[in-house]
Amino acid sequence: MNNKYLKIYNELAKQIETGEIKPKSQLPSENRLSKEYDLSRGTVRKALDLLVQNGYIQKVQGKGSIVLDINKFDFPVSGVVSFKELSQKLGQDSKTILLELDILQGDEFLMEELHLDKEDEVWKLVRVREIGGQKIILDKDYLKRDAVPLLTKEICEDSIYEYIEGELDLKISFAKKLISVEEPTQEDKDSLDLAGYNVVVVVKSYVYLEDATLFQYTESRHRPDKFRFVDFARRRH
Amino acid sequence: MNNKYLKIYNELAKQIETGEIKPKSQLPSENRLSKEYDLSRGTVRKALDLLVQNGYIQKVQGKGSIVLDINKFDFPVSGVVSFKELSQKLGQDSKTILLELDILQGDEFLMEELHLDKEDEVWKLVRVREIGGQKIILDKDYLKRDAVPLLTKEICEDSIYEYIEGELDLKISFAKKLISVEEPTQEDKDSLDLAGYNVVVVVKSYVYLEDATLFQYTESRHRPDKFRFVDFARRRH
DNA sequence: GAGTGGTCTAGACCACCTT
DNA sequence: AGGTGGTCTAGACCACTCT
């Protein structure tokens, strides 16, 4: 990328993450930054807006920009993050087991969830995620076939997100997630090490591409004790 | 507010919410909008960026802006939303019962969570939320005394957010939330109608003011079957 | 080639805070 | 008064899509 505002955003974000710029300290003013980086103030502001959005800094009119304590939480699941990215961040031993890989057509439930026609084909994949030797998560994914022509066992046990964004050139732009708690189904009981819990945490995700088409529906079913979700939210006034 | 970009944002958002502008339709181009509203293109773009952020539209370079189906979910808890705002949106019968209202000082747990000194005083309030006659949520709030000098039973049973933002002039700017599932404590069992469930969903919130100072820590403990959380997330590339 | 959104600039004025 | 961030403008050029 040649974007100037992304460059300065990434530089500042990195410095904040590594602690080079310390929490509670002041960032240089917008005018100083635009001189130092030889950019217009508008471009600097765009970079700072990104830092605000992602929780790195807080701006106060008339005063300046304060660096926030980003390391207060160490489990940043907010946003669309795949299992592989996640376990890498956690540094834990993890494994993915593929239970099912099929092509469906004309399923009523899916036609509802994915807004499908009768003829549309859908990949169904069921995977179990193991962390530290325990089966913790059951993932049921449904992907539109016309966006993803081919899926193999290897891809599914690696990261479908990497494959979709890397190999294919699809760009994921946003997702809606719904978190609830439900009674375990027989499938949950069979596939997961539930350790006596009588509920599972269910995360239903609707994933959209850059052209605003819905292309994936996922149900991620978690053993409750291992489930965590972090949200950073700015209040809309 | 005199802000032009907010005016046009609100107009467009309202038209999308009411269905006056239909999902999947195209918004007028940025140039058209800037002519129609007699604004510079930059100001129009700022309004559209807000619409993108809040999930109203999706932009596609070279094509235009597509209106998204905002009504797909009817439970927008994403962001910092108070119980009162929430139950109003749901239109359900609700009640708040105040169990405890105290001033604490020198509590170790709180000094950790709220970054306090020994001398700092903290309001502790414990409230039970009733929806449809059932005790569903147990809220334990801790507020910094120096920000909120006075609290009464009436305020606590109404909405502290309204009081804090309306009467006092404090502005809440952002919050970090952590969602997890835990075993019920004795307090949970005593205060809530748990209906046989052996877990509670715990939402821990850290709420910050506009000057980036932490001023509230809240534990919101939910009966699992009534808990829902909706997240709208754009993927950070 | 015409139209769309994305980036960047330079300058102006305002609202707010500090001294 | 001087510095800070917030808003707004007018204009330029680029990247992308459609036909």
In tens, the pLDDT along B163-209 reads 887 777 778 888 888 888 999 999 999 999 998 899 999 999 888 88
Contact state of A180 with B227 under an 8 Å Cβ cutoff: yes
Q: How far apart are the first and last CA of chain B?
A: 33
Check if the beta carbon of residue B175 is closer than 8 Å to that of residue A228. Answer: no
Measured from the CB, is B171 under 7 Å from any atom of strand D? no
Residues 192-211 on B with a CB inside 8 Å of A are 197-199, 201, 206, 208, 210-211
Check if the beta carbon of residue B191 is closer than 8 Å to that of residue B138. Answer: yes
Measured from the CB, is A1 under 7 Å from any atom of strand D? no
Size of interface A-B (CB pairs under 8 A): 147
- In a 13 Å sphere around the CA of A70, the CA atoms on its Cβ side amount to 23
- In a 13 Å sphere around the CA of B49, the CA atoms on its Cβ side amount to 11
Of all nucleotides, the one whose C1′ comes closest to residue A2's CA is C7
B55 near A CB under 8 A: yes
Q: What is the pLDDT of residues B71-93, one digit of tens each?
A: 654 444 454 455 665 566 666 67
Measured from the CB, is A65 under 7 Å from any atom of strand D? yes
Contact state of A181 with B201 under an 8 Å Cβ cutoff: yes
Measured distance CA(A199)–CA(A224) in Å, rounded:
7
Calculate the angstrom distance between C1' of D3 and CA of A173.
39
Residues 6+ apart with CB under 8 A from A122: A103, A104, A105, A107, A110, A114, A116, A142, A143, A144, A145
A227 contacts on B by Cβ (under 8 Å): 179-181
Measured distance CA(A138)–CA(A191) in Å, rounded:
7
Q: Where are the alpha helices (DSSP H) in chain A?
A: 4-18, 30-36, 41-53, 83-90, 108-114, 153-157, 160-162, 186-191
Measured from the CB, is A45 under 7 Å from any atom of strand D? yes
Q: What is the pLDDT of residues A47-75, one digit of tens each?
A: 999 999 888 999 999 999 999 987 654 44
A69 near B CB under 8 A: no
Q: Which of A230, A233, A219 is nearest to A78 (CA)?
A: A230
The pLDDT, as a whole number, for residue B139 is 93
Q: What is the pLDDT of residues A168-223, one digit of tens each?
A: 777 888 888 888 899 999 999 999 999 889 999 999 988 888 888 888 899 999 99
Mean pLDDT, 10 residues at a time, over chain B (237 residues)? 91 92 93 96 97 91 90 49 60 83 82 75 92 89 86 85 77 85 96 92 89 88 86 72
